[in-house]
């Protein structure tokens, strides 16, 4: 069996002897469970002189290969181009992008560095699976080294239409480099179709809605592969967690108040400020709910060294303080704003306790919090999911969620009231519709579906090449 070489910006190395349980980590371990392979990426460390060869580790039958970055590499590749240029543009926020040629050169340099290390470990029949916007040009650098392996790429975040992609200076060197993969996968058909349009405008041969395009002497296949979750884990964790001391203390602190839960990284794409505005409007318009509801917003800080994120943290904190000061009293705090991380086990229990799950990003590739919230619910007394129409998850969960436009504050406020007052029978019906989808699209099945499609794309490409040879 051919080896699978998984490449991602960060590798989820085991901590305290236990494997991490994030979505990508679960998928990669599932993919490597029954086949040999290596998970390669940045170690998360910054070193004065990174070693030219990666460090190899093994745990639980999975082999890891990690490399350090220099301070300049970290600043230009990660903090600079990846997070201050690609992240905002791919989330439709061209106005927030801060492009510099230095950062672009750093991004390309680090991708070439990654390619050199992957190249050294690559065998002719290995399959390469690259993840996310940090490594869009990786296949191009591997192809230049002569590697003809099957290579697939999956983008975990949105991909905007070509009108926005073309605002990225030198976009052909970054987004355009995706054509060197055999298969490029996206979260939704809309993201896939946006890339198809981008290829068409670049002169690729292919029609709208097609699954493959020919450009520059290569054939690239496109597909939509919505990421799932480990639903069985979340269900079990939610049931077990409900009886822990942690949850007993949380429930006691809430008293009889219904809980609304929001869980997001601190990022402008998540729509946290607008969500707080909607909650305040709900309180202003629904006096009888004051003192009877508590909104818990769990928001671990991210990219705290970037000025825009520091300012965002200040603004959100001020808004929380304003709402608590304006509407709270000595016996009730309207919002609990928490800047720390919780394990997925603890989060599952919190989700189960929440009457409302508030997931209102301004733009999101998928948003697994929405799916985890659904999977964690008590089937006999489930909560209600309020979901942004701009989250990728809405395509799968729209039949059960209350779908809102996060830019319409009044609409979100009305949805909060509708969710809190929804009859049990309707809540159960909506939950069942969503749960069927969540359970049918398991995270392990997602990995297998992508890799099967990659296998087929290479087979079809080989067939086309053989036919051309026959008729020459």
User: Which sequence positions are flagged as catalytic?
Assistant: 156, 364
- Cβ burial of 437 (10 Å; 0-12, 13-18, 19+) is buried
Q: ∠ CA(422), CA(423), CA(424), 5° rounding?
A: 120
Task: Give the three-class secondary structure for 448.
Answer: helix
**Strand locations in 264-332, DSSP E?**
293-298
What is Dmax (Cα atoms) for the chain? 84
Please answer whether residues 386 and 414 qualify as being in contact, where contact means their C-beta atoms are separated by less than 8 angstroms.
Answer: no
Specify the DSSP class assigned to residue 205.
Answer: B
Residues 269-282 as b/e (b if ≥16 CB within 10 A, e otherwise) read bbbbebbbbbbbbb
> HSE on the CB side for 118, CA within 13 Å?
38
The partner residues of 221 in beta bridges, in order of sequence, read 183, 212
Specify the DSSP class assigned to residue 331.
Answer: T
Specify the DSSP class assigned to residue 270.
Answer: G
Distance, CA of 165 to CA of 144 (rounded, Å): 25
Q: Where are the alpha helices (DSSP H) in 12-83?
A: 23-33, 71-73
């Amino acid at each position: 069996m051919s080896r699978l070489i998984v490449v991602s910006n960060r590798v989820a190395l085991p901590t305290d002897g236990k494997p991490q349980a994030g979505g990508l980590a679960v998928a990669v371990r599932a993919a490597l469970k029954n086949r040999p392979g290596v998970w390669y990426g940045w170690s998360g460390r910054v070193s004065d002189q990174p070693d030219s060869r990666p460090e190899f580790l093994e745990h639980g039958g999975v082999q890891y290969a990690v490399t350090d970055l220099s301070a300049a590499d970290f600043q230009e590749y990660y903090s600079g181009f990846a997070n201050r240029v690609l992240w905002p543009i791919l989330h439709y926020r061209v106005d927030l992008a801060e492009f510099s040629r230095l950062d672009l050169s750093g991004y390309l340099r680090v991708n070439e560095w990654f390619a050199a290390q992957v190249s050294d470990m690559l065998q002719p029949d290995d399959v390469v699976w690259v993840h996310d916007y940090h490594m869009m040009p990786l296949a191009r650098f591997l192809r230049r080294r002569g590697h003809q392996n099957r290579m697939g790429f999956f983008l975990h975040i949105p991909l905007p239409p070509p009108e926005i992609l073309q605002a990225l200076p030198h976009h052909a060197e970054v987004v355009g480099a995706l054509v060197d993969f055999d298969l490029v996968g996206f979260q939704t058909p809309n993201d896939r179709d946006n890339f198809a349009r981008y290829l068409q405008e670049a002169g690729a041969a292919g029609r709208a809605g097609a699954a493959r395009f020919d450009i520059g002497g290569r054939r690239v296949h496109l597909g939509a592969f919505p990421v799932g979750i480990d639903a069985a884990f979340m269900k079990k964790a939610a049931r077990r967690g409900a009886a822990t001391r942690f949850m007993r203390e949380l429930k006691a602190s809430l008293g009889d108040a219904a809980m609304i839960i929001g869980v997001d990284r601190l990022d402008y794409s998540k729509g946290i400020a607008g969500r707080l505005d909607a909650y305040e409007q709900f309180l202003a318009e629904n006096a009888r709910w004051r003192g009877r509801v508590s909104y818990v917003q769990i928001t671990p800080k991210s990219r705290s060294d970037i000025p825009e994120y520091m300012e965002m943290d200040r603004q959100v904190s001020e808004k929380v303080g304003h709402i608590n000061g304006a509407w709270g009293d000595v016996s009730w705090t309207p919002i609990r704003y928490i800047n720390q991380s919780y394990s997925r086990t603890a989060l599952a229990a919190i989700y189960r306790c929440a009457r409302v799950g508030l997931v209102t990003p301004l733009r999101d590739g998928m948003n697994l919090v929405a799916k985890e919230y659904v999977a964690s619910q008590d089937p006999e007394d489930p909560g209600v999911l309020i979901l942004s129409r701009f989250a990728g998850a809405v395509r799968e969960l729209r039949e059960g969620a209350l779908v809102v436009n996060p830019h319409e504050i009044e609409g979100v406020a009305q949805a909060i009231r509708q969710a809190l007052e929804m009859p049990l029978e309707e809540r159960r019906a909506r939950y069942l519709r969503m749960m069927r989808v969540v359970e049918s699209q398991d995270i392990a099945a997602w990995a297998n579906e992508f890799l099967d499609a990659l296998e087929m794309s290479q087979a079809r490409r080989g067939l086309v090449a053989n036919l051309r040879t026959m008729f020459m």
